[in-house]
């Protein structure tokens, strides 16, 4: 990357993707005030399929990343900004995960129609009536919800946050949907402790909607959830300098363990598996669940922070062997 030329950050054009890319853009400009940085918006296969009624298991790999990675390889962009959960564990030759930003709120949020206050001390899922229909296209979310509440009915839903909230409010057969807390917050929504979901300025949330966070103990997040990843070309010195300035080491260690687990389970981000790592002292605590067999398999493992990748592989081997 020649210093006289702008450094291009490739991103999708969705509201959430742009919010994340602008965060990275601001950090780049703050870290290197003498350099010029610009966003390069790229339309991906996933953007073209937003209205398709496909289950996540039917979707191709690299759904939201393929065209962006191609721009990196062709040197039409210098960095790529991703929701790390969308980035496949196997990257194209010549590319690597260069940095991750500090992780945001990893929780999923059950967005329900009606009061949604529940019984004090109860699980948020207890607010759903028996046989309620929950709209989600995520195989991970569907599997965990049905494991907790076998009486629930699942249906597909696609579209951005606003579209999903509107469908929930307008379609009486839907009782709830599930959204990522990090995505809501990055778009400017506020999750109040009483269940209210406050829209950003200029936005709107149907009055009948309530948002109830699901703690990881209730629903494990997907691999890389709430982390922003920066993908770069290998052997690109200027990009490496940027990554060193932006990278959050603790988050990188956690997502490295999670992504190694996912690789060991088959590598697809649409698999019905979940994993979440936290650092406790000098150890990584990795928890996972798999719904790939006839029965769900839950497991956890701890290891030193320097062994994140090996920890993920070992836990995958244990889960796959059950």
| Active site amino acids | 86
Q: Is 304 helix (H, G, I), strand (E, B) or coil?
A: strand
Sign of CA dihedral 275, 278, 282, 283: negative
Contact 161, 187 (CB under 8 A): yes
Q: Bridge-partner residues for 212, per DSSP? A: 110
Cα–Cα distances in angstroms (integers) from residue 239 to residues 12, 97, 166, 249, in the given order: 19, 11, 40, 17
Instruction: Give the residue carrying structure tokens 């009948």.
Output: 208
Contact 279, 253 (CB under 8 A): yes
Q: Is 29 helix (H, G, I), strand (E, B) or coil?
A: helix
In eight-state DSSP terms, residue 6 is P
Q: How many CB atoms lie within 10 A of CB 135?
A: 21
List of residues 6+ apart from 26 with CB closer than 8 A: none
Contact 165, 209 (CB under 8 A): yes
Helix runs in the chain, H state only:
15-31, 45-48, 66-73, 139-148, 161-170, 181-186, 237-246, 249-265, 308-320
Q: Are strands 7-11 and 37-41 parallel, antiparallel or unpaired?
A: parallel
């Amino acid at each position: 990357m020649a210093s006289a030329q702008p450094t291009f950050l490739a991103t999708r054009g969705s509201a959430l993707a742009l919010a994340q890319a602008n965060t990275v853009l601001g950090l780049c400009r703050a870290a290197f005030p003498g350099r010029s940085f610009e966003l390069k918006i790229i339309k991906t296969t996933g953007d073209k399929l937003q209205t398709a009624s496909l289950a996540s298991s039917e979707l191709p790999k690299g759904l939201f990343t393929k065209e962006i990675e191609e721009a990196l390889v062709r040197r039409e962009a210098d960095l790529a900004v991703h929701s790390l959960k969308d980035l496949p564990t196997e990257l194209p030759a010549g590319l690597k995960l260069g940095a991750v930003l500090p992780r945001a709120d990893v929780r999923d949020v059950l967005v329900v129609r009606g009061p949604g206050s529940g019984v004090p001390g109860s699980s948020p899922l207890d607010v759903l009536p028996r046989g309620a229909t929950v709209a989600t296209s995520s195989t991970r979310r569907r599997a965990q919800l049905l494991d907790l509440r076998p009486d629930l009915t699942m249906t597909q839903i696609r579209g951005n946050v606003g579209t999903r909230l509107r469908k929930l409010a307008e379609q009486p057969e839907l009782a709830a949907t599930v959204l990522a807390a990090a995505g809501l917050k990055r778009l400017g929504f506020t999750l109040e402790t009483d269940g209210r979901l406050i829209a950003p300025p200029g936005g709107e949330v149907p009055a009948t909607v309530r948002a109830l966070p699901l703690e990881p103990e209730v629903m494990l997040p997907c691999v890389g959830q709430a982390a922003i990843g920066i993908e770069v070309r290998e052997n690109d010195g200027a990009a490496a300098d940027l990554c060193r300035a932006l990278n959050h080491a603790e988050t990188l260690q956690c997502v490295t363990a999670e992504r190694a687990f996912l690789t060991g389970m088959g590598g697809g981000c649409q698999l019905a598996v979940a994993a979440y790592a936290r650092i406790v002292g000098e150890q990584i605590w990795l928890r996972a669940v798999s719904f790939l067999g006839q029965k769900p398999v839950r497991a956890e493992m701890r290891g030193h922070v320097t062994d994140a990748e090996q920890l993920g592989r070992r836990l995958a081997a244990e889960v796959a062997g059950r």
